[in-house]
Structure 1
């Protein structure tokens, strides 16, 4: 067993995770809240103060996928606060132009963050603050038109960036997923037999349209997984033997995304075995269906 909070989150025991987090919060030094000496992703923001009927600032200090994952809780917060401002990563703002509710969305300028309001929270603290599970907060509907892709297109993302290089799969290992129409969701060129060997454009709306038009997305643990999940597309997530806290270790299903199937390494570093199992399952699937409107 590892960290108790991580174990609770992995098994979907949210009340246990909240209890652990609340106990930790009670012992924090208030002087260290939103400490400007720390990188943004290492800061804590909410100090437990009430937010009902107050002006609330939601700060997005973590990754794009984290913001997508926890955006579902924003309408619940808006229903209880007087006003909600969300300081969001500029790359994501185009996706949320029609976000439900009267939320003020502003770009997060790391050099000039907004001043505190009545209550500040980091977006990943919303589940704790609201005591809300994913089942309590349906995913928002993003106004994304599916790209017109060939029927059965499988879209692929094998790279997870520098945050955790162990999440990435060597590009060549994704070749078994290219037996039908395949699309790269990676920036930059690829030698895999895909519809777009030049790679995916660095445009979040265009990327979302490609994801929305895909019959299936196969991805490592990165923003693409959350984008596919929030858009309700079938998505296979390939994770390490010891995955991130948000993914289960003994189940292929996650409460965060109903359309997601989680594939685990059977042993640390065994991407070949995982890809082999997933590719065999892909070969057994009936003809994949395109997205509606795709």
Structure 2
């Protein structure tokens, strides 16, 4: 391959990447690479194509090769840094962005991406400076504006955050990340009519789709049209809690005449089957029968025009079989004191885990109450011996599915949980639940209020400053102690859980 032909192929590949045709670009670049294996530019572009194709390991190898061949290629450091950040290799990613800035001090993209990593490393003041510098260098840099808006929202500066996102969308109305982030702000502030519309932007970004597990299907997506005589596939996206929250819509879909097929992760399978008769529930895509339409479960609020005033089934919509109740009633010792179920941490891989989860030691004051504490967690950050030594009864070995967890929850008088699937499960069962929320909560919990329109049995306890759990836990302990004092001498009421 002569140089002119190679140059033409490279230019074509650059256009194809801009047009969203990474597979075509990759194939052309691989042919050029055979003739010019020591081209830093070809290796770099090939890395970009592979990133778009979600082939991170191969992309990293080509970025490494490009940097080895041309150590001053700032763009390669930036894109390798982004890849490393997405792989949770944060210190390495930060070094790459610092190197890019040293090579090209005027590169706004490098500052903006450095700020993203600094946020994840809890270096928020430094992140703020990085975003501001990026905007000083490029006042119309939409990525920097979106990133700064996210940081402002974390700090509770919601009006300023929304103003930035509005500015981005005024100039770039199709900016997917700006639309998606705006959806969170709108939903958080209770503007469901606009929020659910903007929330659809998640379907347009490959990384958001990959992160949430959003799947593609050849059949059309349901847009709200008649379902009479139609078979509708509902498929899970995001976490277990999100899916539990959306199960409330199943009876409404059946009322519209739909035959329902559900594609869910295994822990949810049996619990979902109890929602309504005639459901077909599958855990693997290749098992699916034929269907007419499909719908991601987090799009159901939009399809039903859900607002704060018409959320369906806020009281309770999940049930537990008599068998499960009997199993857990038999496993637990005779009730002598009120029972409180605890979930103090979620999956460490969750993007917001550092803000939402607690350490066992932080529960110290709560655990001093004269009550039984039962763990509702399947996994612990701590050694099991530390959990039991703290006075919490361990049930992890018996919690193989969410149906098991639901059965245990029915035996509790109160559930106290951070923002995990356990809280959603308790709320969906109609069990009294005290939810502990970080300063910048997930959008579904709104702002300011101590109740939840999604779950009538839930009470919300909020941080008043970022990272400050002690006042929250003190208030929870005070209220629990007060309820126990009221219940003292009324054993029958305590057993029935009437005072929580």
Q: Normalising TM by the smaller chain, what interval?
A: 0.7 to 0.9
**TM-score calculated relative to the size of structure 1:** 0.84
Cα deviation digits, residues 61-84 of structure 1 (max 9, x gap): 221111111000011112224421
* Selected match of 1:181 from 369, 372, 386: 372
Give 1:165's aligned residue.
Answer: 353
Between the aligned partners of 1:216 and 1:116, the Cα distance in structure 2 is 43
Give 1:143's aligned residue.
Answer: 320
Between the aligned partners of 1:121 and 1:210, the Cα distance in structure 2 is 31
* Selected match of 1:121 from 292, 295, 313: 295
- How many residue pairs get matched? 283
Structure with more helix by fraction: 2
CA spacing shift, 1:116–1:243, aligned 2, 3 Å: farther
Offset of residue 186 of structure 1: 2.2
Q: Give unmatched runs, 5+ long, in structure 1.
A: none
Give 1:255's aligned residue.
Answer: 453
Give 2:444's aligned residue.
Answer: 246
CA spacing shift, 1:85–1:36, aligned 2, 3 Å: farther
> Does the alignment pair 1:268 with 2:466?
yes
CA spacing shift, 1:144–1:230, aligned 2, 3 Å: farther
RMSD after superposition? 2.9
Contact 1:219–1:236 under 8 Å retained in 2: yes
> Does the alignment pair 1:15 with 2:220?
no
CA spacing shift, 1:247–1:142, aligned 2, 3 Å: same
CA spacing shift, 1:19–1:96, aligned 2, 3 Å: closer
Task: Look up the SS of the partner of 1:261 in the other structure.
Answer: strand
The 5-angstrom pairing of residues 41-80 of structure 1 reads: 41=212, 43=214, 46=221, 48=223, 50=225, 52-53=227-228, 54-80=230-256
Structure with more strand by fraction: 1
Offset of residue 276 of structure 1: 1.2
User: Larger deviation: 257-266 or 160-169?
Assistant: 160-169
Cα deviation digits, residues 77-101 of structure 1 (max 9, x gap): 1222442111121111122333224
Task: Look up the SS of the partner of 1:289 in the other structure.
Answer: helix
Between the aligned partners of 2:208 and 2:394, the Cα distance in structure 1 is 43
Q: Whose relative contact order is higher, 1 or 2, with alpha carbons under 8 Å and at least 6 apart?
A: 1
Offset of residue 36 of structure 1: 11
Offset of residue 49 of structure 1: 6.5
CA spacing shift, 1:200–1:158, aligned 2, 3 Å: farther
**TM-score calculated relative to the size of structure 2:** 0.51
Structure 1 or 2, whichever has the larger Rg, is 2
Cα deviation digits, residues 78-133 of structure 1 (max 9, x gap): 222442111121111122333224322222x26x4748832211111111112235
* Selected match of 2:260 from 71, 84, 101: 84
User: Larger deviation: 132-141 or 168-177?
Assistant: 132-141
Between the aligned partners of 1:242 and 1:156, the Cα distance in structure 2 is 22
Offset of residue 52 of structure 1: 2.2
Between the aligned partners of 1:192 and 1:259, the Cα distance in structure 2 is 30
